[in-house]
């Protein structure tokens, strides 16, 4: 397909990433491994390897495997609150990975500097404008702003509000928009507002090249947007970060665990911090059961509301081609709407 408008619309993003299409894949634990990451980069997008809670030696191996499977740029997503986080930074800096994506919480200026000194470009998640400005001041080269329509751990603000708060006020660095994006038409609208590109996760879960269990993919295909709901915090004595996932027995298991832990915290049997660790351990194990083992009843089905646009298993290249075609068509329609009439 010949592209007329899109290359210019996301040129800032493609130049920064060194790719044809400024479409990043979210760093999804157990999902964004070397096969999917390489397939996305080979198709012209930007694959992002999920560091998650990997043992450092496995992350090192996954980086090497990704390099064997693609010659194109890719990044590594590091969770700043992961137990092996500091070891992960050492792995990616030693490997001179071209891009590091900091997620989970705000990275320190020291961590950003360490990555940049190793030659890595730094992308960071920014939940509010003040932190976005701080991250850039500390050296972040680009930002991702992710609304709560996304899957997995989410913040309290929608994508549309974050776009107005951060994107429109951060003109000096590339900003990539994420959360609830499932069509090329929506990509076009964010580009028109000044986005350098976008990040998607949910649509790539059902790619042929994704190693997720077939039952996990089928759960996505069956789900509607309203099925991907965030968990609730039941009591302020145990603060919890909401997780958006397709409702199942695993959701109810998490709710029961939360109630049990609240009682233990209030009785003094368990420290709040230890209870929070147990909640995170639940998600780590539950997600693996679903993605790897195919337990879609009790495992975690983390998914964004863009699961509504997941219709069938497709090759990565086909998914990206659909997104690109939709974005180009929307941009063309906009241009034609405002073209002078004779």
Please report, for the chain, the start and end positions of each structural domain, with discontinuous segments joined by +: 6-211+310-331, 224-291
Alpha-carbon dihedral sign for residues 190, 195, 201, 206: positive
Tokens of 280: 């995170």
* The dihedral formed by the CA atoms of 314, 148, 144 and 312, expressed in degrees to the nearest 10: 0
pTM of model > 0.85: yes
Strands 152-153 and 243-246 come out as antiparallel
Rounded distance between C-alpha atoms, residue 152 and residue 103, angstroms = 12
Number of C-beta neighbours around residue 30 at 10 A: 22
Rounded distance between C-alpha atoms, residue 211 and residue 39, angstroms = 12
Q: What is the pLDDT of residue 277?
A: 87
- Given 3.90.78.10, 3.40.50.740, 3.40.50.720, 3.20.20.70, which CATH number is that of 6-211+310-331? 3.20.20.70
Angle 163-26-2 (CA atoms, 0-180°, nearest 5)? Answer: 80
Q: Looking up tokens 């992961």, which residue turns up?
A: 82
Q: What is the pLDDT of residue 261?
A: 96
The three-state secondary structure class of 3 is coil
Tokens of 199: 């990040």
Q: What is the pLDDT of residue 342?
A: 61
DSSP assignment of 316-336, as one string?
HHHHHHHHHHHHHHHHHHHHH
Q: What is the pLDDT of residue 83?
A: 85
Tokens of 236: 């302020």
Which residues of 116-212 form beta strands (DSSP E)?
A: 121-125, 142-146, 152-153, 175-178, 197-200
Burial of 246 (0-12, 13-18, 19+ CB in 10 A): buried
Q: What is the pLDDT of residue 281?
A: 87
The three-state secondary structure class of 199 is strand
Could you tell me which of 11, 1, 4, 2 has the C-alpha nearest to residue 333? 4
Ordered mean pLDDT values, 10 residues apiece, the chain (342 residues): 94 98 95 97 98 94 98 96 92 96 93 96 95 96 97 93 94 96 98 98 97 97 97 93 94 94 95 91 90 95 97 98 98 88 66
Task: Give residue 152's region: left, alpha or beta (phi > 0; psi -120 to 50).
Answer: left
């Amino acid at each position: 397909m010949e592209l007329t408008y899109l290359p210019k619309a996301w040129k800032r993003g493609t130049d920064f990433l060194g790719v044809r299409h400024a479409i990043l894949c979210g760093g999804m634990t157990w999902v964004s491994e070397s096969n999917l990451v390489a397939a996305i980069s080979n198709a012209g997008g930007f694959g992002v390897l999920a560091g998650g809670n990997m043992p450092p030696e496995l992350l090192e191996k996954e980086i090497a495997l990704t390099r064997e499977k693609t010659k194109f740029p890719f990044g590594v997503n590091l969770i700043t609150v992961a137990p092996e986080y500091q070891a992960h930074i050492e792995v990616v800096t030693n490997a001179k990975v071209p891009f590091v994506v900091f997620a989970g919480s705000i990275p320190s200026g020291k961590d950003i500097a360490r990555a940049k000194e190793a030659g890595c470009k730094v992308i960071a998640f920014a939940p509010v404008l003040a932190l976005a400005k701080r991250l850039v001041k500390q050296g972040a080269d680009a930002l991702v702003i992710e609304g709560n329509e996304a899957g997995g751990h989410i913040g309290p603000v929608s994508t549309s509000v974050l776009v107005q708060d951060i994107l429109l006020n951060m003109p000096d660095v590339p900003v990539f928009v994420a959360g609830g994006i499932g069509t090329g038409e929506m990509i076009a609208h964010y580009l028109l507002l000044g986005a350098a590109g976008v990040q998607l996760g949910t649509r790539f879960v059902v790619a042929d090249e994704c190693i997720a269990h077939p039952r996990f993919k089928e759960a996505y295909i069956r789900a509607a947007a309203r099925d991907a709901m965030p968990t609730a915090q039941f009591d302020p004595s145990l603060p919890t970060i909401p997780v958006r996932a397709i409702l199942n027995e695993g959701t109810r298991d998490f709710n029961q665990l939360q109630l049990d832990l609240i009682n233990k915290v209030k009785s003094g049997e368990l420290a709040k911090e230890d209870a929070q660790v147990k909640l995170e351990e639940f998600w780590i194990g539950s997600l693996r059961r679903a993605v790897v083992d195919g337990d879609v009843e009790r495992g975690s089905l983390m998914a964004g509301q863009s699961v509504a646009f997941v219709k069938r298993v497709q090759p990565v290249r086909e998914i990206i081609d659909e997104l690109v075609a939709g974005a180009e068509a929307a941009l063309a329609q906009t241009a034609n709407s405002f073209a002078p009439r004779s």
